[in-house]
Amino acid sequence: LCQYTDHGHCGQVKDHYVDNDATLKLLNKVAVSQAEAGADIVAPSDMMDGRIASIRQALDEEGFINTIIMSYAAKYASGFYGPFRDAADSAPHFGDRRQYQMDPANSREAMKEIDLDLEEGADIIMVKPALSYLDIVYQARQRCQRPIATYNVSGEYAMVKAAARNGWIDEKRIVMEELTSMKRAGADIIITYHAVDVAKWLKNGEVEA
């Protein structure tokens, strides 16, 4: 069981800026509570500085030494999150999240964040979103021997579904091309809303792995 921890639900704001250190304390509490509830993996998506080391220490102190941390190390400020935010009512009520999510034009910062999270003890590195950031997945694969995950997010999923519904594309073919591109770029783990459909297609022999 993997449980993600979203800064949007536990972040502390001071003078219209995210208070990094105060947020870390809350992230620690959330991660420990998730481990106590049975999560095998905690996945902080908050992009706070130092959160991997802080969460690792908190988990270890409570005896959860085998609980895995999957870090959203390279989480970009993207327009592809829209459908999920609308469905979960998680869009910011003021401002936006660009002050702590990464600039889509900046790849070097992603490598710095990945290196820092690895040094702090991350077990799995996440790149999010997937399709527009396959170059980041590839660069991460070149410098990291730990598992690389990528998140095929709601906007990417919605575009495929909408186009398929309108008869513009072959859904099965497009989905398999997209997922293959993520694997080819270096992803060991692909988190995708297409998972149930793909499992069914594979079981029925409708597509090839």
Give Cβ neighbours of residue 133 (< 8 Å, ≥ 6 apart): 74, 76, 127, 150
Residues in the chain: 209
Marked catalytic residue, from 128, 161, 172, 183: 128
- Find how far residue 75's CA is from the centre of its chain: 7
128 part of the active site:
yes
Instruction: Please pick, among 25, 29, 75, 183, the residue that the annotation labels catalytic.
Output: 75
Around 184, how many Cα atoms within 13 Å sit in the side-chain half-sphere? 8
CB contact at 8 A, 55 and 44 = yes
- Token readout for 36 is 């106590």
- CA–CA distance, 17 with 69 (Å, rounded to integer): 26
Q: How many CB atoms lie within 10 A of CB 165?
A: 10
Residue 122 tokens read as 């991350």
Burial profile 21-46: b = 16 or more Cβ within 10 angstroms, e = fewer: eebbebbbebbbebbeeebebbbbbb
Catalytic positions, written as ranges? 75, 128
